[in-house]
Structure 1
Amino acid sequence: MKMLSTECIGWEIVKIPRVLFFQEGPGVRKWQFTNSGIKLLNGGNINDNQVDLSTTDKYISEEEAYGKYAHFLADAGDLVIACSGIVVEKFSKKIAFLGPEHIPICMNTSTMRFRPKKEGKITLEYFKYFLQTRLFTNQLQKLITGSAQLNFGPSHIKKIQLPLPPLPVQRRIAAALDLADRQRQLLRAEIAAYGELGESLFLEMFGDELRGGSDNWKVYSMKAVATSRLGKMLDKRRQHGNRQRMYLRNANVQWFKFDLDSIYTMDIEEDEEEKYGLQRGDILVCEGGEIGRAAIWKGEIENCYYQKALHRLRVNNMLVNSEYLVNWFYYQSKNNGFGDYSSSVTIAHLTGAKLKTMKVKVPPLHLQSKFAKLLSQKEILKDKAETALAEADDLFQALLQRAFRGELFGAEVPSVEV
């Protein structure tokens, strides 16, 4: 990999170790974990550019933290990143600052921290955005060839070349990108609020009756309100490749939506198309993992099918609509409503037989229709916010790449040759 040109007036090209101290966490072993003491920072704690220590429960003893691992104790203000098993497109969200509320904390393997050296030639705010550029990821991928994910350490970081404008320019770049990023954060918060609004509407309209209330609403078995069928079992021995069709698996079904970034295919024979095909309005319910997790299929993919790890429900429109029933599943999940219906040897799962016997308290159809209408209005607003977020993301990315080419403030920086 060739060095970046240094012909840019006012912009140095340096390697990261010249201006930044950086350190990867140690490989703390499982037998060293404790139930209390000093929290360990793991890659899973860094998401959406925030550090959330509630997502893990790994500690080491204070004796080890302040003894053997004292030099791995991080400080407030350190910039931390996840550096193992990360999809390139998601790396930009695995970067965050530690705050006073996170201290004391000890680094662990798969994480790295950065802080400026005493000379003070770089700001961490500027460096945070450099890590999100193609200039950084292109260099890194060249150094770790053969991997579809980012798995890197100090030996890779020390080879990365960094465009280094004067400090005032660094601050102007960071301020401009902060402003653009702030717009994205506001839109994400708006979208999250719309998601919470659906739950609030459901509880307001149906919560009292579901928690006990009166006996005005009838109770039906699941087999009365919807027909159910488990998906096709994937048998690799019978896969011939002549009738490959896209199908959904457990990982694709999230609450109220589908993650379609990774879709697999399998052979679906002609006589299986109707049996395992999806129609608009079908509800897909997870049989294992987070049992009961469900979403309404809206025809996102034409001619799509589903695997055995999922139940497909088709509602009896004379009794319920899909919007009510999928939110009913969410309510049950949050209130331990599947405890009596899940079977477990080592992993809990919701069998087809158990699903059919579940008892569903059904409100009048006119209330369900009102709920569905309110949800539809909410989804229209949410869709507008998501469109605005996509535009804000595009603007941010354009500004980000231009900033590190010197097109916003200062002379142009040549791109790295990879």
Structure 2
Amino acid sequence: MELVLSSEILDVRDGTHDSPKYIEKGYPLVTSKNLKQGVICFEDVKYVSEEDYNKINNRSKVDEGDILYSMIGSIGNYAIVTESPNYAIKNVALFKFKDENLYNKYFYYVLNSPFLENQIKSQQKGGTQKFVTLKILRNLKIPLPPLDTQKKIAAILDEADRLRQLNKQLIETYDALTQSLFLEMFGDPVSNPMGWERKSMKSLMKIVRGGSPRPIKNFLGGKNPWIKIGDATKGDDIYIYSTKEHIIDEGLKKTRLLPEGSLIFANCGVSLGFARIIKFQGCIHDGWLAFLEFDENVIDKVFLLKALNSVTKYFRDTAPDGTQPNLNTKIMGDYQIILPPIDIQRKFVDSLKIIEQQKDQTQTALQKSEALFNSLLQKAFKGAL
């Protein structure tokens, strides 16, 4: 298949690098964080004045049919512009189509292919905060079959993508159903409109914080599971079954080793409020709290997990001011948690199991649809479709 440089068939620009003054109402300013799963998400977008909007668009006006690509942080998020835009962009690459022999939806999928991902990853810059430059994006090698072949490839991938997106949407529906069920049965745990009995967390359980042997790289490579947020962000939203990393026995002196079945809770940063039950004996760092030694005839473990999940915003608002929210054992211990009768808690958990079973089936279907999509993606750019 013929390879051409992206600069030969695309006009590659980027948005502003300045930091305009944000206002309450105005024109949206789209950044890398607003590009999610192929679409532009405006939920947490910031706004700029008409003057700044026009100034930015003199440099990088977005038009329908263009493709946006995140250049910093979450590199590789992208979206195709499907409607006439009324926003400006910042730290986002803009691909404009100047050659009629390149189909935009085909290139949209090329961006998602390992062929291009590997090119970009091998050249990206930066340390903790990775970024790509316009020079990199202008010198990508693009497989360019005939236009009718591009449209055929895009149509096949559209159908495969539709299937996996349907599965993703169904999983989101099950997650929303879980939250709705909790609120229907128990109400808001903070305002407690149903008047449930409340007790402080410290009166019901032992609350401990994890510990971190430092520098952690000197303690990796052992047999003791080292639990990180990344181990809990995919798949099951109640349990953690394994960890990617393990630490040596020497590290046990500087961390906290928990028994199987412990309930852990992320107490700081962007992950604050994230809770899971571990299905193995493992170690937690100082970004986790653990809740131990509570009577499950008084408070069910899964109910406790979902009750904590439902008040994440409250905990974020309660956390001491600082660069990142951070909950200590005292704040958690003082929190007054609702205590509905145990039979009602268990009724909720039984209903939750049914939802989780359906969600597990959809997760399996999603894995299959993802595998199909990725297989077709690889074949497409090897000329095998």
TM-score (norm 1): 0.79
- Residue 42 of structure 2 is matched in structure 1 by 53
Matched, 1:312 2:302: no
Aligned residues: 381
CA distance in 2, matches of 1:164, 1:291: 42
What's the offset of the Cα at 1:135? 2.1
Task: For 2:90, give the aligned amino acid.
Answer: N
Matched, 1:184 2:164: yes
- Helix, strand or coil: the match of 1:390? helix
Residues 380-391 of structure 1 correspond to what in structure 2 (within 5 A)?
380-391=357-368
Kept in 2: contact 1:191–1:385 (CA 8 A): yes
CA distance in 1, matches of 2:30, 2:332: 40
The 3 A distance-change label for structure 1 pair 391 and 54 is same
- Helix, strand or coil: the match of 2:187? helix
- Residue 30 of structure 2 is matched in structure 1 by 41
Task: For 1:133, give the aligned amino acid.
Answer: S
Matched, 1:324 2:303: yes
Matched, 1:105 2:105: no
The 3 A distance-change label for structure 1 pair 159 and 295 is same
| One of 255, 278, 291 as aligned partner of 2:258 | 278
TM-score (norm 2): 0.85
Higher alpha-carbon deviation: 15-24 or 287-296: 287-296
What's the offset of the Cα at 1:121? 0.8
What's the offset of the Cα at 1:193? 0.9
Higher alpha-carbon deviation: 241-250 or 201-210: 241-250
CA distance in 2, matches of 1:298, 1:38: 45
- Residue 393 of structure 1 is matched in structure 2 by 370
CA distance in 2, matches of 1:280, 1:146: 39
CA distance in 2, matches of 1:331, 1:19: 49
- Residue 20 of structure 1 is matched in structure 2 by 10
What's the offset of the Cα at 1:317? 0.9
What's the offset of the Cα at 1:239? 6.1
What's the offset of the Cα at 1:303? 3.9
CA distance in 2, matches of 1:73, 1:270: 53
Structure 2 runs not aligned, ≥5 long: none
Higher alpha-carbon deviation: 377-386 or 254-263: 254-263
The 3 A distance-change label for structure 1 pair 171 and 104 is same
CA distance in 1, matches of 2:324, 2:116: 41
The 3 A distance-change label for structure 1 pair 345 and 95 is closer
Kept in 1: contact 2:192–2:338 (CA 8 A): no
The 3 A distance-change label for structure 1 pair 399 and 338 is closer
Kept in 2: contact 1:144–1:152 (CA 8 A): yes
- Helix, strand or coil: the match of 2:258? coil
- Residue 415 of structure 1 is matched in structure 2 by none
What's the offset of the Cα at 1:185? 0.1
CA distance in 1, matches of 2:320, 2:220: 34
Matched, 1:73 2:67: no
- Residue 352 of structure 2 is matched in structure 1 by 375
What's the offset of the Cα at 1:343? 3.9
Kept in 1: contact 2:229–2:271 (CA 8 A): no
CA distance in 1, matches of 2:127, 2:271: 33
Structure 1 runs not aligned, ≥5 long: 1-7, 409-418
| One of 191, 195, 201 as aligned partner of 2:181 | 201
What's the offset of the Cα at 1:13? 3.2
Kept in 1: contact 2:60–2:94 (CA 8 A): no
